């Protein structure tokens, strides 16, 4: 979890070759896609070279993908830190500007 208590997940993707490990955190849920959102994500991704911030299935996520065969402890630790830092930096503003408040009703 991040210092603010948000979850960071590690998932193994075996359905593709090469097998990969994905480290990710959901930054905002119930987010409709919009041109403003995509421009903001492009801006974030342009300044964050080691992590992707994406929109998928109504959620904004920060993620790092690593080829599993080459994974070592320091690379996994770095991915966890990068995702945690990205989540802490962008979660509040992305939730405030892009989450749909009526979706929770």
Encode pLDDT of 36-66 as tens digits: 999 999 999 999 989 999 999 999 999 999 9
3 state SS of 65: strand
33 near 51, Cβ under 8 Å? no
Enter the CATH code of domain 9-100.
Answer: 3.30.1460.10
pLDDT of residue 2: 61
7 near 1, Cβ under 8 Å? yes
Residues in the chain predicted with pLDDT less than 70, given as ranges, are 1-3, 103-105
Whole-number Å distance between alpha carbons of 1 and 80: 9
pLDDT of residue 5: 74
Sorted by where each begins, the domain ranges of the chain are 9-100
């Amino acid at each position: 979890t991040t210092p603010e208590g948000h979850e960071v997940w590690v998932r193994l993707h075996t359905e593709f070759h090469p097998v990969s490990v994905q480290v990710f955190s959901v930054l905002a849920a119930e987010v409709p896609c919009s041109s403003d959102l995509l421009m903001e994500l492009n801006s974030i991704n342009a300044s964050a070279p080691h992590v992707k911030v994406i929109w998928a299935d109504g959620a904004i996520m920060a993620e790092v993908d690593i080829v599993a065969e080459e994974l070592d402890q320091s690379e996994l630790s770095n991915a966890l830190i990068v995702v945690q830092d990205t989540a802490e930096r962008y979660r509040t503003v992305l939730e405030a500007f892009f989450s749909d408040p009526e979706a929770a009703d």
